[in-house]
Structure 1
């Protein structure tokens, strides 16, 4: 049983506020997407009957599912336990599929509920999740496929000065058609990092097994820490084929919405798991993957919105890391009055109650940074089936 299971959430109000996109430090492109010249965030707020509010980043383009499947359950909980309410939320999106964005939306609601629960207990979220530390290892992330060598060097210098011990760059340029250039860029970055800082690469699923093996052969002397999503994430047979044919550490998990997929990834030979709290369909499911990695003795890291993810990583073992995609994340700092600070390769988590981030809503309002706002109240949403404790 988890600490939150017997909590009761009678939610009376919900808000979604969309913040204007922040300018990227460097326009960013990967194998198949971009360039991103800016990056945005929308925040969900859930308020309970006693005025406590929980917040989390949210996909704001799924309001139909939010309004018709999820809000009726949140607003008409009838004093049922969290365990019962979450069960109902989970099954309400069955017809949308448990591996799509509707499942991720439930996970985002779940983070907001955990934030609210931690605030009610007067605890930082990482302590509510039984973490005993407030420092979290960070790995630097970036190296867009569109970066010039000068831009690559500037980003590497930034991360080295921040004390990180691992840097991840993108490969698979122009939909995987420029492998020689990818290899040259990897060798260039490897030389910049020196022998004491690890280098990982991320192909964003663009290659097939044969192409991924070729890339591994061409970069074999660069001692890559891991090779992230080299093949389409749904192609488990090719993932297994690749893992069996190489000693390189293969990483997957960012594209998954359900913890139930991860044992199959492990059985396929994946040796680095990467669930994202705001992408998977619940806090408990993220922790199941965390525990699976520990049980199997394989690497574990997590990305997404770095500052939101950091408290979760604090609940894992000390060697686990949070990804910091500096080029896109740094611009969001202006929206927050509280967020983890990067120093000596670590994020230091605040002792503020709940999530270790606080949006400065007064500042955002004053500077007209709120691009969209929608609100709902319990008396505006009909109850379609009573909730009873199981």
Structure 2
């Protein structure tokens, strides 16, 4: 039984704060989105009757789902253990679907509940979940399709000096129409990192099977440790075709919002699973994918808001890695009072209770970095009334 199952959460207040976006180190573009010159974060804060709080990143653009599905249950499950009220949270989003933003919101609220539980027990969240190690391996990520060779070299050098042994770069330039440029960029990076650092590529779903095979033939299978989302994430037939035709590990999972999809991916031949803790429908769902990966001896990693993912990866007993997309994530660190440190290619946790990340709220208010703040109290939110599906 998970330790949280018997926890009681008498939630009295909920707050969402949207922080001012920060500039990317280098404006970043991938195969299908961008460029991203700025990046932001919003935080949900749950507060119980004694003033204990739990926090997590949250989507701030879907208030209707939060207010009509999740908040009524959070506020009106007084004196009810987690194992009894979480199923109501879970099924409240049924009509919104388990493959989109509603499931991600469920997982974000769940992360805040776990943070609250660990904070009030005054233990780090990874220890609350049974992890022993206080560090996790990370890999460098970036290499935007818009980067010049000089910008690629600067970023790769940064990661090499940080001690990483794996670097992932973007391919699929010009919406997949410039494979020759992709090949040249990848060969350039391979020349920089040599044989001691593994190289992965991420096509962000843009290619056809023929494009994938042409790219791999030009690079050489032995020069890639994995290829991420080479074809559309919903085209399981194409995923299976790619997996059967190459010995390069194929990675999927970032686009999924439920653990229920991952066995299908494995059956298609996917050998690297990538659930994102802040985008999947709860901590236990992430753990289901972790266990699937361990039991099937598959590669395993997680990204998203990297520093908020580290505590979970500590429960994987050294079998997984955390992605660190430096160009986008680094700027957000100015908001953190506490965060995992970075040494020799690993994130090292502080011994702070809960998630090993704290926003410096005093500084944010002082410097006027909160661009929007929303508050709810129990009296403001009626009890949950399910909408009948027609």
Q: TM-score per shorter chain, which class?
A: over 0.9
Does the CA-based 8 Å contact 2:11-2:78 persist in structure 1? no
Provide the secondary structure at the position in 1 that maps to 2:44. strand
| Paired residues of 1:162 and 1:344 also in contact (CA < 8 A) | yes
Q: Secondary structure at the match of 1:185?
A: helix
CA distance in 1, matches of 2:214, 2:236: 19
- Matches of 1:51 and 1:204, distance apart in 2: 42
Q: Is the 8 A contact 2:305 2:329 kept in 1?
A: yes
Q: Distance in 1 between matches of 2:258 and 2:210?
A: 28
Q: TM-score, normalised by structure 1?
A: 0.98
Show the counterpart of 2:269: 269
> Contact 1:339 / 1:356 at 8 angstroms: preserved in 2?
yes
Aligned partner of 2:58 in structure 1 is 58
Structure 1, unmatched stretches of 5+, are none
Pairwise CA distance, 1:244: 0.8
State the alpha-carbon separation in 1 of the partners of residues 290 and 336 from structure 2: 28
Alignment of 1:68-217 (within 5 A): 68-217=68-217
Q: Superposed, which structure 2 residues align to 1:317-336 within 5 Å?
A: 317-336=317-336
Give SS of 1:204's match: coil
Residue 333 of structure 1 and its aligned partner are, at CA, apart by 0.9
Q: Which residue of 2 aligns with 1:34?
A: 34
Query: Structure 1 residues 380, 143: closer, same or farther in 2, change over 3 A?
Result: same
Matched residue, 2:375: 375
Q: Secondary structure at the match of 1:12?
A: strand
Q: Offset at 1:222?
A: 5.5
In the TM superposition, structure 1's runs of 4+ consecutive aligned residues that sit over 6 Å from their partners are none
Q: CA deviation at 1:317?
A: 2.5
Cα distance between partner residues in 1 of 2:228 and 2:385: 43
**Contact 1:190–1:222 (8 Å) recurs in 2:** no
- After superposition, the C-alpha distances for 1:330-352 in whole angstroms (9 at most, x for unaligned) are 10111010001111101001110
How many residues were matched structurally? 386
Is 2:291 aligned against 1:291? yes
Partner of 1:5: helix, strand, or coil?
Answer: helix
Give the root-mean-square deviation of aligned CA atoms: 1.0
* Superposed displacement of residue 385, structure 1: 5.6
- Distance in structure 1 (CA, Å) of the matches to 2:162 and 2:235: 37
SS state of the match for residue 238, structure 1?
helix
Within 1, Cα distance between the matches of 2:156 and 2:38? 20
2:223 counterpart residue number: 223
Paired with 2:246 and 2:331, the residues of 1 have a C-alpha distance of 38
